[in-house]
Amino acid sequence: MRERRQSLLTAVILAAACVPGHNRHAAEAAPSANDVLTVRLDGVGPIRVGMSVAEASHAVGLELKEEVPDASTERCKYVLSPELSGIAFMVFDEKIARVDVLDSRYRTTAGARVGISEAELVKLYPAITLTPNTYQEEWHDLRVATRDGRFALIFITDGKNVVNYRSGLTEPVGWIEGCL
């Protein structure tokens, strides 16, 4: 069962990463409209955790739709837009619950992004906590949360650099296998 869940999560992440125009090393890519979207603990750009998919689509001016319908459950799914390559939105109970970021074009309010080193991340977030990654022995999960504990941000590193991160409501951000 665990292998099936891990395989489904991998499929969702790969589907989001394979969106046309996605470039994990986009720091070298030409600037685009995506560059203005800043990731916060409670959302990205004009999209806020708690919005419906329709509200989020309207706020960003793009259609967000379910990319891998067979991978969703009744209460949880991922939506994305080809125009926002490298970002996927987890929807839980019909509301945006978290943002998954796989592309270096999207920075947090503190300036963190995919590709920065763990050392740089610690400088940006001095109160960050580091734990071993559940699936990869050399990898780490680095976590930051709001003082009230409502929102969190988890950076996944390969032991050296950030490979992806997610932000949003604390509980969904902590679901390492996404909607599974």
Question: ∠ CA 137-139-145 to the nearest 5 degrees?
Answer: 125
The tens digit of pLDDT for each residue in 146-167 reads 999 999 999 999 999 999 999 9
- Does 87 reside within a domain? yes
C-alpha 162/C-alpha 77 separation (Å) is 24
- Residue 26: is its pLDDT beyond 60? no
Number of separate domains in the chain: 1
SS (H, E, C) 113-145: CCCCEHHHHHHHCCCCEEEECCCCCCCEEEEEE
pLDDT at 72: 56
- Residue 1: is its pLDDT beyond 50? no
- Residue 86: is its pLDDT beyond 60? yes
Of 16-25, 69-78, 94-103, which one has max mean pLDDT?
Answer: 94-103
Segment 159-180 shows an average pLDDT of 94
CATH code of 127's domain:
2.60.460
- Does 175 reside within a domain? no
Q: 21-55 burial string, b = 16+ CB within 10 Å, else e? A: ebeeebeeeeeeebeebebbbbbbbebbbebebeb
- Report how far apart, in Å, the C-alpha atoms of 160 and of each of 7, 35, 134 are: 24, 24, 16
- Does 176 reside within a domain? no
Banded model confidence at residue 33, pLDDT cuts 50, 70, 90: very low
pLDDT at 14: 37
| Number of other CB atoms surrounding residue 138 within 10 Å | 10
Segment 64-93 shows an average pLDDT of 85
The tens digit of pLDDT for each residue in 89-145 reads 999 999 999 999 999 999 999 999 999 999 999 999 999 999 999 999 999 999 999
CB 41 within 8 A of CB 35: no
The tens digit of pLDDT for each residue in 37-53 reads 899 999 999 999 999 99
Question: ∠ CA 107-111-114 to the nearest 5 degrees?
Answer: 50
Question: Tokens 């650099």 identify what position?
Answer: 161
DSSP 12-41: HHHHHHTSTT--TTGGGSPP-GGGG-EEET
C-alpha 113/C-alpha 106 separation (Å) is 6
- Does 69 reside within a domain? yes
- Does 180 reside within a domain? no
Range of the structural domain that residue 166 is part of:
2-27+35-170
Banded model confidence at residue 75, pLDDT cuts 50, 70, 90: confident
Banded model confidence at residue 70, pLDDT cuts 50, 70, 90: low
